[in-house]
Structure 1
Amino acid sequence: MQFHHTDLVDQLIAAGRTVVERGLALASGGNLSARVPGSDSFIVTRSGAWLNSLVPDDFSVLGPDGQVISGSAHPSSEWKLHAYSYQARPDANAIVHVHPQMAVLLDALGAEIRLITLDHAYYVRSVGRTPYYPNGSDELARTAAEQAREHDCVIQGNHGCSTLGANVEMALRRALNLEEAATLTYRALALGDTTTAFPRDAFEGLAHS
């Protein structure tokens, strides 16, 4: 299948390698997407695709209702998660959905992920969450999209997280910084620290994009 949006596909292929190399996903444990410029359709990884070895045939182009326009006939079972979030966030042009161990663990333990560094504050800003819902379900897609209206990073309980961005690079940066924030939070808690965080009054001075 020849895609007309090879640059976006190349960006998603590179992002897939990064999320596996950085431990945010194992094998096919996650899915990536990008909005097709000037349309309401989007490119998403196919079902079962290994994120660290993606090729152009591992992508589907879907309309907003999930109809396959081109590419693989078997899009990710999580396509609704992407479609609903794009509808909720017209400013988002890419979504990274992965299964980061530390972020999911802290959420399952009921521990709030603290933003500690400047990068955490700038890229993550705030974290939304949903209860556990089966993957691919309307409930998961709907509640995640509702959270995405207010947050660029949304944790799905006992499952994974989605990060949104104006482009693939920003969505990926947010995923990486969310997991790093979770890791530092875990280490702080292990040391008995329950308060350390980025200064609240400093958030106002950040130029967010």
Structure 2
Amino acid sequence: MGQAATVDGLIEQLIDVGAGVVDRGFALASGGNLSARLPGSEEFVVTGKGTWLDRLEPADFTVMNLAGETVGGNPAPSSEWKLHQRTYQVRQDAGALVHMHPQHAVLVDALGHEIRLLTLDHAVYVRSIGRVPFHPNGSDELADGAAEQAREHNCVLLAHHGCSALGEDVGMAFRRAMNIEEAATATYRALLLGDRTTRFPTSPDEAIQHA
């Protein structure tokens, strides 16, 4: 999945990703939300309020600008639109944001354990994980906290809620989202075996050199 050249192309990609998120059990019903923007654009498209990610249609998307104004499409954006808007404000390089509610990532964090990167893909695509303490859904505190973490991390864990993953395009954002949940699942299994130390043997920077 390469970089889309049009807004319609971005929406088509997000529809595909939405179906993939639900198919993999990373979100239920209207949980989770997706967004994307063209490189250099001051506008982004985001899923609408109450939309189910596996039933998305083009009319479900809202067009917003970085000032937080609705400028087209569905007049009711996701209640988490601030999470997307404020992250894009601090990450001009980001072209997409996938926010989902994966079970293992939320559980491992809620139990007080760090999600460990165990494979080459975890090290290359996730690299590092930011974390935001619990704040209410759609709140300024949640959006601002996630944006602050996104300054240094492409993957951000939202305590007792879910996670967000950024990418230069929709495909990379989803790849990172899948990898953070896979890392959490692997961490969970390691904990069941009594292991609390095993992790990828080199730094992410070293891993990228050999990927």
Fold equivalence (TM over 0.5): yes
1:202 and 1:168 map into 2 onto residues whose CA distance is 22
Q: How does 1:118-157 map to 2 (within 5 A)?
A: 118-157=120-159
Structure 1 stretch displaced more, 5-14 or 34-43? 34-43
Tell me, yes or no, if the aligned pair for 2:123 and 2:203 is still in contact at 8 Å. Answer: no
What's the counterpart of residue 109 of structure 2?
107
| Stretches (4+) displaced over 3 A | none
The residue number in structure 2 matching 1:204 is: 206
How far is the alpha carbon of 1:205 from its aligned partner? 4.1
Instruction: Please list every run of 5 or more consecutive structure 2 residues that lacks an aligned counterpart in the other structure.
Output: 1-5
Q: How far does residue 37 in structure 1 lie from its aligned partner after superposition?
A: 3.6
Structure 1 segment 1-209 matched on structure 2, within 5 A: 5-201=7-203, 203-207=205-209
Aligned-pair distance for 1:36?
A: 3.3
CA deviation after TM superposition for structure 1 residue 38, in Å: 3.4
TM-score (norm 1): 0.95
Quick check: 1:119–1:177 contact (8 Å CA) kept in 2? yes
Q: What amino acid is aligned across from residue 61 of structure 1 in structure 2? A: V
Q: Percent identity?
A: 62
Which deviates more from structure 2 when the two are superposed, residues 191-200 or residues 74-83?
A: 191-200
Does the residue aligned with 1:197 lie in a helix, a strand or coil?
Answer: coil
Q: TM-score, normalised by structure 2?
A: 0.94
Q: Which runs of 5+ in 1 are unaligned?
A: none
Aligned residues: 206
Give the Cα–Cα distance (whole angstroms) in 1 for the partners of residues 47 and 203 of structure 2. Answer: 40
Aligned equivalents of 1:161 and 1:205: distance in 2? 23
* d(CA) in 1 for partners of 2:170, 2:204: 27
Q: Which amino acid aligns with 1:149?
A: R
Counterpart of 1:22, as a letter, is: R
Counterparts of 1:36 and 1:106 in 2: how far apart (Å)? Answer: 34
Tell me if structure 1 keeps the 8 A contact 2:36–2:169: yes
Letter in 1 for 2:124: Y
